[in-house]
Amino acid sequence: MENRRERRARKSAGSNSVGKYYPPSRDLEYDEYVGELGPARNGIHTEMHVRYGVLNDQYLDWSVTLYARRGDLDEILRTQKQLERRKIESVAITSTAIQRQTFDVDNPDAPPTTVNLVALRAGSEHTVDTQFDETLKALSHKWANKCNVLGPGVAHPRTVATFAFAQNNRDPEFRNGIYSWVRNTIIAHDSDTAEEVLVERGGYYFPRQPISAAVRVGERMKFLKAKRPVRKIASEDHPIIATTGTTMGMIVEAVNSGDWTDEIGQFLDD
């Protein structure tokens, strides 16, 4: 379904927009996924949300956004509310450029700092497609250098899982093959609780949609389907505590879901 920006772009493309880049929104298949980039610092977790529109195996419209999330399961149990999130950075397609916006996390009402990274014009489909890979690769290396608390060249397990899924999801054989049902995906570690992943995170990013989960277990990814979150966080009749003992690893081991039998691609080493 087209969002407001895409509808406006499509309408403009038919009038006086000669020379500007507009993705063929009506023909694109859109999908989203979100994963965590570890480690957390001072109770602040970083999430990477990706939205892309694909046509003929090309990503012709996309955005990559980093969010700062305050708290984890303990915070959910304490407040019984949705966790707070604020934008850190976003790289997205516009009609004239691939644009990066940097936000002041401490002052979310302040206007972002905007930089045009790559100029776009009509016919820039190849540039848009290849720059998606370049954007994720640059971000993965930046994050590895910034957060190598486990040692030089050692990425946090959640970071590895997030970028490994991004890489494999880019493969048409994965996206269009036996894993074509993996859509609106939350990337998780096997130690994450179901309440954190399927209820809180799913309720924030995919509040009205069926979701899937990609769970890193050892050196593999396992997948499962989930209905859209049935409640926002909790109520008096449905307290959170009822599900806090269940991890994503327990769930994927208990169900007959598909998995990658090969080792996850070493995206950070490319």
Confidence of residue 254 (pLDDT cuts 50, 70, 90): confident
Mean pLDDT (whole number) for 34-49: 93
Q: How far apart are CA 216 and CA 188, in angstroms?
A: 6
pLDDT of residue 231: 45
Q: Which amino acid appears at position 8 of this protein?
A: R
pLDDT at 266 over 50: no
Identify the band that residue 74 occupies on the pLDDT scale cut at 50, 70 and 90. Answer: confident
Is the pLDDT reported for residue 18 higher than 50?
yes
Q: What do you get for the CA distance between the two ends of the chain, in Å?
A: 34
Least confident of 53-62, 77-86, 104-113: 77-86
Question: Do the beta carbons of residue 87 and residue 66 sit within 8 Å?
Answer: yes
- pLDDT beyond 70 at 32: yes
The residue among 223 and 270 whose pLDDT is bigger is 223
Residue 234: pLDDT band (50, 70, 90) is very low
Lowest-confidence region among 2-6, 172-176, 185-189, 204-208: 2-6
pLDDT the model gives residue 38: 86
The crossing angle, in degrees rounded to 10, of helices 125-146 and 157-169 is 170
pLDDT for 255 beyond 80: no
pTM of the model: 0.83
**pLDDT tens string 88-128:** 999 999 999 999 999 999 999 999 999 999 999 999 999 99
Name the percent of the chain lying above pLDDT 70: 79
Instruction: Give residue 136's identity as a one-letter amino acid code.
Output: L
Position with higher pLDDT, 22 vs 259: 22
Does the pLDDT at position 267 exceed 70? no
pLDDT at 146: 73
Q: In what order do the strands lie in the sheet with 58-70?
A: 113-119, 97-102, 85-93, 58-70, 44-55, 29-41, 185-189, 211-217, 220-226
Say how many residues make up the chain: 270
